[in-house]
Amino acid sequence: MAASGTDGKQHGRRQQGVAAIEFSLALCLLMTVLAGIVGYGALFWAQQRISYAAGEGARAVLHAASLAPVRAADACVVAREAAGWLAVGCRPAVGPCAWDPAGQSDCVSVTVTYDPAGLPLAGILRHLGGADGQGWVPGQLAAQATVQVDTESVQ
C-alpha cells in the first residue's frame, strides 16, 4: 500500500503543468477565432461605409443637378467626405442611361473603391487564407451608385 501512495504523488507532480499547456493551446485557438471575427467585421463595416459613400456621391449629383448644372467630379468630393477616414478611390462616369432609349437623360455613376489591406487584422486573415494569401480577404472592396439626370444638367 505504501508503494501505491508514492506512485500517486509522483503521478500528480508529473501532471501539474498539463493544465497550463492545455489552457495556452485553447487560448491560442480562441484568440485566432476572435481575430477572424473582428477582421471580418471590419471588412463588412468598410464595405457598408463605401456603399454609403457611393450613394451619397450620387445623391449629391442628383440634388445639385436639380438646382444648376453640375460637374460629375463633384460627386467624388462628397463621397470621400462620406467615407470618413477610409482612404477611398472614386471615379465618376457620365453616359447614356441604358433604360432611356430616347437619350433625353444621362446617367452619372459614382464608383468608390477601397483596398482593405490597411484594415486592422486584415493581415491575419490573409495569412489564414491559404498559400496565395487571398483566399479569405478580397483584394479590393467596391461600390457603385447610379442616378439619372437631365442631359443639360451635367457638365
Beta-carbon-side half-sphere exposure of residue 7 (alpha carbons within 13 Å)? 4
Angle (CA) 95 93 86, round 5°: 160
Task: Provide the residue ranges of all domains of the chain, joining segments of one domain with +.
Answer: 2-153
For residue range 74-113, what is the model confidence (pLDDT) as tens digits?
899 999 999 999 999 999 998 888 887 777 788 899 999 9
For residue range 37-83, what is the model confidence (pLDDT) as tens digits?
888 888 899 999 999 999 999 999 988 887 777 788 889 999 999 99
CA distance 13 to 103: 86
For residue range 124-152, what is the model confidence (pLDDT) as tens digits?
666 666 555 556 778 889 999 999 888 77
User: Which residues are within 8 A (CB) of 151 and not within 5 positions of it... i.e. 6 or more apart?
Assistant: 103, 104, 105, 106
